Each structure stands twice: as C-alpha cells, then as structure tokens.
A = this chain, B = another copy of it.
Amino acid sequence: MMTAMEQMGVRAKEASRALAVAGAAKDEALAAIAEALVANCDKILEANRLDLEQGEKNGLSKAMLDRLALNPQRVQGMADGMLQVKALPDPIGKVLEGGVRPNGLHITKVRVPLGVIGIIYEARPNVTADAAALCLKSGNAVILRGGKEAIHSNTCIAQVMRQALEGSKVPVDSIQLVTDTTRQSSIDLMNLTEYLDVLIPRGGAGLIRAVVEQAHVPVIETGVGNCHVYVDKDANFAMAADIIYNAKTSRPSVCNAIETILVHQDCAGEVLPMIKARLDEKQVQLRGCERTRAILGDSVVPAIQEDWSAEYLDYILAVRVVDSMEEAMSHIARYSSGHSECIVTENYAAAQAFTSRVDSAAVYVNASTRFTDGGEFGLGAEIGISTQKLHARGPMGLNELTSMKFIIQGDGQIR
C-alpha cells in the first residue's frame, strides 16, 4: 500500500516523462498560469487573509507577517515572474559537447531535466509560484512543500496553477503541493528516494540544516551566508568603507550580506575609524578582536569565538585585525560558509592570490558581496544560491535544474 507521498511521487515521475519532451508547450503553460494567477487574484488574496488572521492569532512577528502578506501587486509580481521565466531560453536539448569517435560512433552530450524536484520552503507564498515556474521551464515536475503559516495561500495558488495546466498540453501533475504541513510530511519528502531526483530547501539556516541532516534523497544546500570582506593594506580605504557599508547595511537579512570584516594590521589604524563612521549611520553593532578594540575603543563589543561563525542577518558585524592576507584567508577557510568573500585592494598580486586561493562560490575584488544573485549574475532567475560544491555552486538558474545524457549514434559498432 503506497503512502500519499509515494502516490505524489508516482504522479510526479509520470508527469516528468511528458514534461521532458514538452518543448514549447511549457511556455504556453507558463503563460496560461500567469493569466490564471491574475484572474484569480481575489481568491488568492482571500486565502491569504486566512493565513494572516491565523498568523496574527499565533503571534507571528511583524517581519514574518510581512513576508506572508500578499496584495494585488504581489500577485501581479508572481504572474510577471512566470512570464519572465517563459521568456528565458529553454535549457533542455542544448548540445553541450560532442563529436565523432575513431570507430565512427557519433557521441552527443545533451541537456535533459533532472526529473522530479522537491522544494521545501517557509513562509513566503510567492515561492510557490516562482519555484513552480523554474521547475516547469526546465522540464521538471515539482513537489512543493511550503510552511504551515502559508498553507491557505499556497493551496490556492497551487490550485490556480493546476487548473491552468488542465487546459494546456503539460500534465497537471507537473505541479503538486503537499497540503499536509505536519513535520512528518517533510520527513516523508526527504525520504522519497525512489521518486525524487533532488530536494532543494529554501529558508533559514535551521531548515537547511535539518534537511541536510535528515534527507536520504540528494540535496542541494542553499543560502547560508557567513560572508567576509578583507581590507588589504593596499586598499582604497574610502572604497573599502563604501563596500562594507553596502554589504552590511543595504539588506542585512539576506545571505549575501557580510558578517565579518578582516582588516590588515598595517592599515587598521587608519581604515577602521572610517569604516566605523559609516556603519554608525545605521547603528551597526561592532564585535571586535582585542586589536580592533584598541583602535576603536570600548564601544566595540569584545568578540568571542562564536562571533566568527555567526550568521547574524542583522545590524551586527564582527571585526578582526589580521597580520597578513595569509591570515585572512586562513580565517575565511576556517569560518566561512563558502558563499561570498571580497578583497578590497589595489594590489594586483593580492587580488590574484585571493581569487585563486579563496574557496567560496563567489570571490570578489573591489565589489560588494551583495551582487551574488541570479539576477545580478545574468541568469534571468534564481531558485537559490548553492553553498555546496557538488552539482551547482553559487546562484542557481535554469541550467542548474538540469542533468545531461549521452546520445550515441552508430551503424552496428560492437566492442
């Protein structure tokens, strides 16, 4: 007897076979969904009101309620997102490599969908539409498992999308939503090894960690960002202060914001006060090493070991003075989550060494880490930012939701 989750898996697998060869029908389906989202805006907002009422009753924070809230503009935004994804080139079928072997075999490596993708996410109902769009365009069936806070909104959005697929050439089960929001359904999805080709968690560090630890299906770890800026002795100090101010304060709650700065001892006395002056504009709390406090004074909180590993996602910044670039790179190797790091320097050799030796998804010279983003990198859209090294690293667009296969054409070759 199959569980409900296994039945979803069977239906998703079945749908994925048709989707893999659906071609332009996928674009028609995306257009139909966009239209349906706008046409059903009132219904979606009504469902969202139920979630918001429930959320208020359950004492959700204002930030959480804001993430949960939809309005006509946000629904229109989901529809626009569908059309943006529709406009991207179809990744499927692209010939990646190929040639003729000495024995006459024609070998072609082509891009194919992964198959069935699971997405586990938290309170934002727009992820339901955004993730579905990216999976559909890349020829994958998706099983969505959103947070319980947004269940009414997610259920309604999923229904609207599935109804739109009914009138299309794409199977309705290309998009499925897990409506059971108990912990168990999450665990069941993490163990759907026979049907799920990959599981992508989207949300806070707690969710990501739980999925990585518990899942038996392949996982792509996303979005944990303990990012660093290293201010080299040969930095343009004003630029360093600008970049640090931007990378810390333009949006502290996101994964590409910085959490620690490392400053070369030769310039710490001059540049740290400049940096502090900028960060004071936004009341950023500094947590510094002893040498930092010797320069900036007792208003800097003493940093403890935990500060170097912390992902504050807040107006807090750890500061450490280092003896050398070598020490900065060792610090990053030890504490970074492998997301984004930056060196500010005017020195060619330092820039070369930092970019070749720092092992993170995105390594910057003289630019804010806030650019680590699918849109900013020109991928068109993004399903998340991978902080692992297997399969995908950094911002993940449509290509990262695909696999490949070899097609070998012969005329009777044997070995």
Contacts and interface: CB of A to CB of B under 8 A. Distances in A.
B408 A364 contact: yes
A310 interface: no
Interface string A22-63: 000000000000000000000000000000000000000000
Contact of A390 (B21, B197, B356, B406): B197
Interface string A380-415: 000000001111011000000001111111111111
A362 interface: yes
B412 A236 contact: yes
B407 A242 contact: no
Nearest to A358: B405
B362 A406 contact: yes
A361 B408 contact: no
Interface in A210-225: 213, 216, 218, 220
Contacts of A405: 359-363, 393-394
A370 interface: yes
B414 A367 contact: yes
A270 interface: no
A368 B197 contact: no
A242 B393 contact: no
Give the number of times this chain occurs in the complex, counting copies: 2
A79 B236 CA distance: 52
Interface in A236-293: 236, 239, 242-243, 245-247, 250
A115 B362 CA distance: 16
Contacts of A187: none
B243 A414 contact: yes
Nearest to A18: B357
A407 B216 contact: no
Contacts of A218: 218, 388, 390
Contact of A112 (B359, B368, B378, B408): B359
Contacts of A390: 114, 197-198, 218, 220, 390-391, 403
Given A218-B388, A367-B408, A250 B414 contact: yes
A303 interface: no
Contacts of A101: 376-378
Nearest to A99: B378
Contacts of A250: 414-415
A148 interface: no
A372 B408 CA distance: 9
A200 to B, nearest CB: 11
Interface of A: 17, 20-21, 93, 99, 101, 105, 107, 112, 114-115, 197-198, 213, 216, 218, 220, 236, 239, 242-243, 245-247, 250, 333, 351, 355-357, 359-368, 370-372, 376-378, 388-391, 393-394, 403-415
Given A365-B407, A365-B409, A390-B403, 5 more contacts: A17-B333, A198-B390, A364-B407, A364-B409, A371-B413
